[in-house]
Structure 1
């Protein structure tokens, strides 16, 4: 193999190609520098010790994960995974070994109390993705109110459409954060359009303008790298305004007609250690197709605190002792690809683990 500079290096090293989350946003692996901070397997920022970018002379492997994340690794890149051989056990395997063994374990069918009625089992799972651990960021309005506005607000100003059943809850949340509802207008039936103000904090209109969301609803970049509390509060606002929690299943669903909001909300959910799945269909009204509908579904438990609205939050039940299937990503495909430019990154933590790809998949360097 060769360094990208053209100089030869002595040994084969693990390396990947793709995007990695940093403490300030996203970066291509080729652009990472010593001194940058990536996110570790526990979600804590860790400094980069060294970076080695080179062109692999051997074929690489592209791994596809259940959530659609794709990462390319050199044949000697190490992946911290759980392997199924009758039960799941922690191990570390190279890209080449993953490909040689394959993604499916052929399980014998059995009967009785521990019967196995499905023969093919996913062989490889990632370790659980963590919630990112980051410091509080400056967000010029309460994150919960921002999330609620993103879900059911008018894009051109500080107004929210809400049912009169939920209005008292929103008023309490505003009051607790120093904001307030300053006007309300009944639109039809049991629905109000209310205008909110941030009190002494700032003008609500200026806050939306500072966040860059007026006439262009999206989750601002500073929210993605804010504290766990701020990110969770933003998601709570989105779920309480525009989400649905199914009784008895811990299943949370959010629907958007905006691909930008759907993509941003999916990323926000991932930063909290949760696993969203996205599907796209037609948005219809009275039999007419109006555009695309983006449906986000994920599993949450009461301790995940993804909702504040009592009638929704009370539907979430406790999780069991084992790491749930909803917290990991199975490897669904491994394909050999042409040699490409890859990057070996060493970070300062035990096992040199860090997160990579849009799905925040734990990867490592044990060489």
Structure 2
């Protein structure tokens, strides 16, 4: 009874104040209630609920009894015991629970929705409860990281005019998040979790910080473009090979840059916070999903024993470029780039020991007859029609001139852009021609078959690698020096090596046929194909400091193709993300934040639209988003009021006083006939009315506020 009624019957007096129309008498362990039937039923229900709370071991307080009275009187069917016995998190003997019905609805919404907006005045527990749910999700392994952020624009201050280092400047803005974190997690473990990236606390602007240098190339349907030139609405290539629009472009200023290099030689530049989708060999064996790590998280952790730890994803389909008309069949061009003579000094010719290739070449070149000169050499003659003059140009020569290939030697051949950035069918046909001429399958005992291609042209080497990667494969290149190599033999004569050879080992995805030539195709198939192409991170090295930019794309997995066909992205997967003080975000910042949502993640956005500290003329993103996202599935808006304030009682009264003051200002232009003293017109909706003092600062008219509080 002491736990139920309080020391000196303090709780009983709270109940009597809440139900002034009934008489409550206590004798021993019995409570007698007299009054109207409705009121008596409410009091009986209240005591039943309080007994349940006491029996759970939770101590009552006067504030808890006041809130219980309010919940019982609301008649919405939810009991105080249901609300106050909901344990969210326990740490060091302290349990965090909702204290009001609106708080419980807020907590339930976080469980049931991916994005939740918590709107209400200060002191209602918006941030604290969201933090508790985040820690709970981390401990139960629902998420792998917590990201806490808030805009650093409070009171209109600018970071550049605050003393100290960058972290000293932003620390006051983030201090409330740190304080809540220390209440819920062992303080000794917080530095370790933050160093590992499991918990990240940063100002809102740093949510964009997953960036690349402005000159880094990104693949678009028209080829590679610097990321710094992209604009919202431009198309880039996603992981499926399909184009995806750019949703946002966010300059980041100068950042420390790292070069991420894969074992196949591909590399790109990014900042330390840039995100990578990766998986380990153990993840693949256990059929676990891909994980998302920051660049800095992987530094120093790239090996598992002697094996590379992190595998990178590859294109799941060929990169899609617009189909363009080409002047020559792509397979024929591939054969000529491999075994054709393109000098232009004589009639074009072709060398092969496979008559099948010569036949295929003739079929692919209308108006040309492939004439055998000997067992391996063929001449490409123009088919003459009646009335033709002798001076007509050979069709092959004309096309080679158009493609700027005429006059090229073996060490200067290349693939024209019209073929390199064309449809997947044209790119594959060109690659098949190259491999049928200068490539082939290589089998090894106990291993899958790989494809090998050799050329003396550095340009052609790079183009072949690009063709393979654009089709979802991998290519490893190595150089075979001419100097010191034993000479070869051709028709019984010694042939010296005059140029270095570039050998490319290729693996293509299943379903991509690398050969048309029968003997090569059958050997490749007999060996079981080329195996699964894979790409792992080899090294991460510092690369200086550069101006950087971040982009956001619309692809479902948020991946886009950067240099050397590497896949990277900027969203946050498997994370619990909290944006505090969201009323101080602009509409653009709010959009940027919400579009960072990744797979398996949750977001909670908290704020009070009556306390906006943005510069004049800037619209609060928290106000705008309520109109934009109204009715969108899996997004909830939870509103807390002064009745949900869990701080000092006076805080709730102050909140109500300000609310009444704002209503009067909107209705009459001034509260209770009291002007601002200088004829100022009221501010925009939701802003506190203010007047200017002698230094140009704004101060609230406190006389009217004090009257309302009193």
Q: Deviations over 1:118-153 (max 9, x none)?
A: x43321110123421233221101000000000011
Q: Give matches, 1:178-189, under 5 Å.
A: 178=366, 180-186=368-374
Aligned residue for 1:113? Answer: none
Please give the alpha-carbon distance, in whole angstroms, between the structure 2 residues aligned to 1:38 and 1:226.
15
Q: Deviations over 1:209-238 (max 9, x none)?
A: 221211232100111111111001001111
Is residue 381 of structure 2 the alignment partner of residue 192 of structure 1? no
Q: Secondary structure at the match of 2:250?
A: strand
Aligned residue for 2:233? Answer: 35
Contact 1:301–1:318 (Cα < 8 Å) also in 2: no
- Bigger drift between 80-89 and 135-144 goes to 80-89
Contact 1:302–1:317 (Cα < 8 Å) also in 2: no
The correspondence for 1:352, drawn from 534, 545, 558, is 558
The correspondence for 1:153, drawn from 335, 340, 344, is 340
Q: Secondary structure at the match of 1:296?
A: strand
Inter-CA distance 177–133: structure 2 relative to 1 (3 Å threshold): farther
Q: CA RMSD in A?
A: 3.0
What runs of 5+ residues in structure 2 fail to find an aligned partner?
Answer: 1-159, 161-202, 386-393, 488-493, 572-595, 597-710
Q: CA deviation at 1:254?
A: 1.2
Q: Secondary structure at the match of 2:515?
A: coil
Number of aligned positions between the proteins: 338
Q: Deviations over 1:153-198 (max 9, x none)?
A: 11224623333x5224432453266464253322xxx212220559
Is residue 256 of structure 2 the alignment partner of residue 69 of structure 1? no
Q: Give matches, 1:278-297, under 5 Å.
A: 278-283=477-482, 284=485, 285=487, 286=494, 288-297=496-505
Is residue 223 of structure 2 the alignment partner of residue 25 of structure 1? yes
Aligned residue for 2:466? Answer: 267
Contact 1:78–1:93 (Cα < 8 Å) also in 2: yes
Inter-CA distance 258–314: structure 2 relative to 1 (3 Å threshold): same
TM-score (norm 1): 0.82
Contact 1:171–1:180 (Cα < 8 Å) also in 2: no
Q: Secondary structure at the match of 1:206?
A: helix
Inter-CA distance 296–337: structure 2 relative to 1 (3 Å threshold): closer
Contact 1:282–1:290 (Cα < 8 Å) also in 2: no
Q: Give matches, 1:50-69, under 5 Å.
A: 50-57=248-255, 59-69=256-266
Is residue 407 of structure 2 the alignment partner of residue 221 of structure 1? no
Aligned residue for 1:10? Answer: 205
Is residue 562 of structure 2 the alignment partner of residue 362 of structure 1? no
More helix by share: 2
Is residue 243 of structure 2 the alignment partner of residue 45 of structure 1? yes
Aligned residue for 1:110? Answer: none
Inter-CA distance 312–104: structure 2 relative to 1 (3 Å threshold): same
Larger of the two Rg values belongs to structure: 2
Aligned residue for 1:112? Answer: none
More strand by share: 1
Q: CA deviation at 1:276?
A: 0.9
Contact 2:221–2:320 (Cα < 8 Å) also in 1: no
Aligned residue for 1:123? Answer: 309
Q: Secondary structure at the match of 1:195?
A: strand
Contact 2:281–2:309 (Cα < 8 Å) also in 1: yes
Q: CA deviation at 1:253?
A: 1.2
Contact 2:477–2:504 (Cα < 8 Å) also in 1: yes
TM-score (norm 2): 0.44
